[in-house]
Structure 1
Amino acid sequence: MDRFIRTVRLISTLCGFSAAALITAGVVVVCQMVFVRFVLGSNTIWQTDFTTYSIVAATFLGSPYVLLTRGHVNVDILPHYMGPVGKFRLALFSAILSLAFSAAMTMFACLYWWEAWDGNWVSDTMWRARLWIPFASMPVGFAILTLQYVVDLYSLATGREPPFPSAGGHDAGASQGGVPA
């Protein structure tokens, strides 16, 4: 199981780097588009689509990394005032619910991607991009996010990580192993 955990965490980290590269590429293409339009006076065809698709792909592919690093917005007022058992139960419930949502979204994203592939969908712009390519970021991102939730749930249930580590409270430091005694 340790190898699985390390592998998923490595893949999630690579997703974070991929998301950063996609955002960087989007910024570079916007700069190129501005140069081509206003300095050279030429038309642009593919730049707007590319930028849109790269930012959306960065969102989906970056989500496992955000979960891995706990970079998401977290309102921890409730766990802050809960004891170790309450924190553990709430974290377990949240992780199971999030895993179920992510797994369902993986399935729906796969179906949507398949429709784009099977139907030979293309964008309705001059570029006529084959939409299965940018849509692939949805099932891939959600699938890796689901795996990251599996790792988080396993780590929580086995005491490898504490529930809500950022929510100090009256029992701060009491749940060193994660699972309350």
Structure 2
Amino acid sequence: MALTTVDAGWRRGADFLVRGIGGISILCGWIAASMILASVFITCQMIFVRFVLRQSTIWQTETVIYLMIAATMLGLPYVQKLRGHVNVDLLPLWLRPVPRKLLAVVVLLSGIVVLGIMGFYAFEHWYLAFQRGWRSSSVWGPPLWIPYLAMPLGFALFILQLLADLLALLIGRDTAFGLEAD
């Protein structure tokens, strides 16, 4: 069956959107990896300053913690793009292609809803920190809205990747759970 011009244009646009969101997820993966690398270098610098130079450290421990949390949150869409999250595929393996696709749609929509709720509360927490000028109680005392921003941003990008996965499944660009049709 030949596709009409409208159908072909819609699918091309949807495919472009899926690839664009995938590119954003890959960028997030690179940013997360860079944050982990920066954390390693900062930890090495902290060890050098403490044990070789015998000086105190002020900002290093807190920075490493914030970078690792941000790397975890910003790495979520990249891991989703690679299908790296933990899953149990016993049920999808048992199902025929149509129920498997339906299950995949339900799982993706459920994930979007749950992450939407988590993202809402993460945004609310970030906004409170920003609005009230919360600062860390450490000697360094950075404003907390900066590290807290990673939570709503990470959840939003994760939801975006889930939407791209759902769209790719619906237009036939991807298969349910990455399994081949029988």
CA–CA distance in structure 2, aligned partners of residues 155 and 38 of structure 1: 53
Classify the secondary structure of the residue corresponding to 1:124: coil
Q: State the alpha-carbon separation in 1 of the partners of residues 35 and 92 from structure 2.
A: 35
Q: CA deviation at 1:173?
A: 4.2
* Of 45, 67, 86, the match for 2:80: 67
Q: Which residue in the other structure is 2:113 paired with?
A: 100
Alignment of 1:1-181 (within 5 A): 1-166=14-179, 172-174=180-182
Partners of 1:2 and 1:21 in 2: CA distance: 29
> Number of aligned pairs?
169
- 1:83-121 Cα distance to aligned partner (Å, 9 max, x none): 112211211110110011122222221111110100101
Please, what TM-score do these two structures have when normalized by structure 1?
A: 0.89
RMSD: 1.2
Where 1:110 maps in the other structure, the secondary structure is: helix
Q: Deviations over 1:121-146 (max 9, x none)?
A: 11111110111111111111111111
Q: How far apart are 1:155 and its partner, in Å?
A: 1.2
Unpaired runs of 5+ residues, structure 1, are: 167-171, 175-181
Q: Distance in 2 between the 1:160 and 1:104 partners?
A: 28
Is the 2:18–2:167 Cα contact (8 Å) retained in structure 1? no
1:77 deviates by: 1.3
How far apart in 2 are the matches of 1:2 and 1:158?
A: 8
Aligned to 2:10: none
Which whole-Å CA distance do the structure 1 matches of 2:95 and 2:155 have between them?
Answer: 31
Contact 2:50 2:56 (C-alpha < 8 Å) held by counterparts: yes
CA–CA separation in structure 2 for the residues paired with 1:55 and 1:122: 19
Give distance in 2, aligned partners of 1:37 and 1:150. Answer: 47
Provide the C-alpha distance between the structure 2 equivalents of 1:173 and 1:117, rounded to a whole number of angstroms: 49
Q: How far apart are 1:50 and its partner, in Å?
A: 0.3
CA distance in 1, matches of 2:72, 2:101: 29
Once residues 17 and 177 of structure 2 are traced to their aligned partners in structure 1, the CA distance between those partners, rounded to angstroms, is 23
Consecutive unaligned residues in structure 2, runs of 5 or more: 1-13
* Alpha-carbon distance in structure 1 between the residues aligned to 2:124 and 2:90: 38
Distance 1:173 1:92 in 2: 16
| Structure-2 separation of matches of 1:6 and 1:85 | 25
